[in-house]
Amino acid sequence: MTERKKITLKAHTGTETPAGRDKPHRQPVRGAGSAPRARLTAAQAEQQRAERPTHPNEGKPRSSRPDDHRPAARPRRDQAPSHPGTLRPPRDARPPAPSRQDAPVTAEPRSPRPPVTPREEDGRVRLSKLMSERGLASRREADEWIEQGWVRVDGKVVDELGTRIFPEQDISIDPLARTQQAERVTILLNKPIGYVSGQAEDGYEPAVTLIRPENQWNGDRSKRKFARHHLRHLAPAGRLDIDSTGLLVLTQDGRIAKALIGEDSLVEKEYLVRVQYQAQPEADNVSAIFPEADLERLRHGLELDGHRLKPTKVSWQNEHQLRFVLREGRKRQIRRMCELVGLKVTGLKRVRMGRIALGDLPMGQWRFLRTDERF
């Protein structure tokens, strides 16, 4: 039989050197506070409780204890606070979140705005408009002068566009503005047939294309020579149909344009109109057969576009030609007036505007308005 040996295991004390090791074994070094706590016996625990000092709230109901100095209970994971100091209720105790459709839409209250007083109520008007009404300048000229600092209101310079003032305030203009205004030209043209007054249309050239050095009338007594800047902002003051001839005024001066074609213009325009009586087209003497009552209607009593026309001076110039003098200029006014009384216009020529007559100015030529001439 094989002899069995009895092996006895002994606890290692750490003082002996285990077999196979040259150095003694070291116990692991524990950090501060990591030493194992000694288990207390029941008697030792009872003795510690007896020696603990009594708390002032010991024995009182929990609801009556002051919680000013009591630490807040540590929330569970499902009760994590949304921000410090606030406990979130349990997930199953929260009300369901409203959907976007069920959620009421509440507009944030806005602070009330102060009441705005309409500008018309304070009695002030735009400075440029007041200057135009007083005849000091056109609206465009007024804006230019204000930007240049040439306008004073009650002695103070006003250089901001859109400024509003009271109608009774005093307005003065710097002499430099008057000098610049004097340099603006006005041109008198004898317009031929086939040219339009304003911008080009239907392939027809505007009358301003005739303002060239070679077309300046030799009888021009203004002693002014043509320059390219004279064409800048040169605009017609009153239209003349493509089939009409005669005096056409083109100007850079807004005051002249307003005086000639403004709504409250009192400047007379004189025309010579050749007509044909529709009832008797072959008549040699239209003036002899045309009814006097219809002539009176031409003078006063007609309406165009629902508007009653102002009184007009109408008289016979010869057997086929009428002389019209009127103070308004609606589109194709004379031609439409004649149609209402059975007349057909075969020729129309403007011979005067205010005190300025066409005179001997040849067809297709032009001249400057002299400084001593006024409309």
Rg (CA), the chain: 53
Q: How far apart are CA 192 and CA 240, in angstroms?
A: 10
Q: DSSP E strands: which ranges in 67-215?
A: 125-126, 151-153, 156-157, 164-165, 171-173, 186-191
pLDDT for the residue numbered 115: 55
Return the domain boundaries, the chain: 121-182, 186-264+360-368, 269-353
Of the candidates 241, 243, 253, 372, the residue annotated as catalytic is 241
- Tokens representing 175 are 């002499």
Residue 154 φ/ψ region, left for φ over 0, alpha for ψ in the -120 to 50 degree band, beta for the rest: left
Q: What integer is the mean pLDDT of 127-133?
A: 90
365 in Cβ contact with 190 (< 8 Å): yes
- Does CATH place domain 186-264+360-368 in 3.30.70.580? yes
- Tokens representing 199 are 């911008």
Check pLDDT > 60 for residue 47: yes
Is 372 known to be catalytic?
Answer: no
Check pLDDT > 90 for residue 248: yes
State the pLDDT confidence band at 106, using cuts at 50, 70 and 90. Answer: low
Q: How many residues does the chain have?
A: 375
| CATH code for the domain defined by 121-182 | 3.10.290.10
Q: How far apart are CA 142 and CA 258, in angstroms?
A: 13
| CATH code for the domain defined by 269-353 | 3.30.70.1560
pLDDT for the residue numbered 358: 96
| Dihedral sign for Cα atoms in the order 52, 55, 58, 61 | negative
Q: How far apart are CA 110 and CA 3, in angstroms?
A: 104
CA-to-CA separations, 77 to 71, 73, 239, in angstroms, rounded: 18, 12, 90
pTM: 0.56
Residues 254-291 have pLDDT tens digits of 889 888 988 778 899 999 999 999 999 999 899 999 99
Q: What integer is the mean pLDDT of 244-253?
A: 95
CB atoms closer than 10 angstroms to residue 215: 16
Q: What percent of the chain has pLDDT over 70?
A: 71
Q: Do domains 186-264+360-368 and 269-353 have the same CATH topology?
A: yes
Lowest mean pLDDT among 72-81, 238-247, 327-336: 72-81
270 in Cβ contact with 296 (< 8 Å): no
User: Beta 303-304 vs 307-308: how paired, if at all?
Assistant: antiparallel
255 in Cβ contact with 318 (< 8 Å): no
Number of alpha carbons in the 13 Å side-chain half-sphere of residue 230: 20
State the pLDDT confidence band at 186, using cuts at 50, 70 and 90. Answer: very high
